[in-house]
Amino acid sequence: MALDKSEAIVLKAYNWSESSRTVVFFSKEFGKIALFDKGGRSIKSKRGRIMPFASLELTFYNSEKESTGYISDIEIQEIFTFEKDGTLGRLAYASAAAELLKMLLSEEEPHRQLFTYYINYLQYINSVNKQFIPALFIAFFLRLLSQLGYHPSIKYCITCNKEISLHNSKPILFGADAGGSVCDTCQKPGEYYISLSPEMFKIFASLQTASLQDAAVVPIGLTQVTLLQEALTRFISSQTQLDCRLKSLAFIEKLKNSNNK
């Protein structure tokens, strides 16, 4: 077995016994990898702790004969505690990003820039005012889609390629199943569209190319972010044929519903 090392972060862990588990990592050098953590759950383990939402230096044995390698050692580099105001929301949006990565990344395909972007995303989620966290998530979602080759057409009609005016006075329709925004001329009866107010559409369009720094000053309400999240999850589901609904954001949906009562 070859011994490899990479900066990594946990996406998901599956417990197999009282002492062992399989851990799915997003690593900088090897992409998404699943490794067997033999004895890692035991309190007697001398190996470094595997923590969610922490940048880790991961050392592991990569087996060519078996489908899963083995964790050798862990060193914690940076922990994201999400202790500021709005901890539950921070955890929800951090978990949603991890859920998307686990769902959409191919096995053992490096995405070094995306890895760095994800670490930066967690740093912002950990530190910014809670009102800006939803915009950070939408910006992350859009960048992830772009990095993986999926490009929802927001500023241009998906059918005729006509530019959608940012000065519309009426709602703009986003056809997630079709692949993007649809102008008035190309709208089809019976098709499902998500209606975005002119203000929400401007934010959506701007976040497609926004840096995390830019997104970290954009306030979006729960109702608005739910619409944008629906637009993107439905879009990527239609592109990949996967069920891309995010379980991590169920808490946010419950909070929105309680606020509307």
158 and 53, same structural domain?
no
DSSP string, 203-247: HHHHHTT--HHHHTT----HHHHHHHHHHHHHHHHHHH-S----G
145 and 35, same structural domain?
no
CB 33 within 8 A of CB 25: yes
Q: What is the pLDDT of residues 43-85, one digit of tens each?
A: 566 566 788 999 999 999 987 666 788 999 999 999 999 999 9
137 and 33, same structural domain?
no
**What CA–CA distance (Å, rounded) separates 240 from 235?**
9
Residues in the chain predicted with pLDDT less than 70, given as ranges, are 1, 40-48, 64-66, 251, 254-261
137 and 161, same structural domain?
yes
What CATH number does the domain containing 13 carry? 2.40.50.140
Query: Domain total for the chain?
Result: 2
What pLDDT score was predicted for residue 144?
98
Q: How far is CA 83 from the centre of its chain?
A: 20
185 and 147, same structural domain?
yes
* Domain limit, last residue, from 48, 79, 110: 79
Token couple for 83? 């202790």
Q: What is the pLDDT of residues 18-31, one digit of tens each?
A: 778 899 999 999 99
Domain that holds residue 36: 2-79
253 and 133, same structural domain?
yes
Q: What is the SS3 string spanning 115-178? A: HHHHHHHHHHHHHCCHHHHHHHHHHHHHHHHHHCCCCCECCECCCCCCECCCCCCCCEEEECCC
What pLDDT score was predicted for residue 46?
56
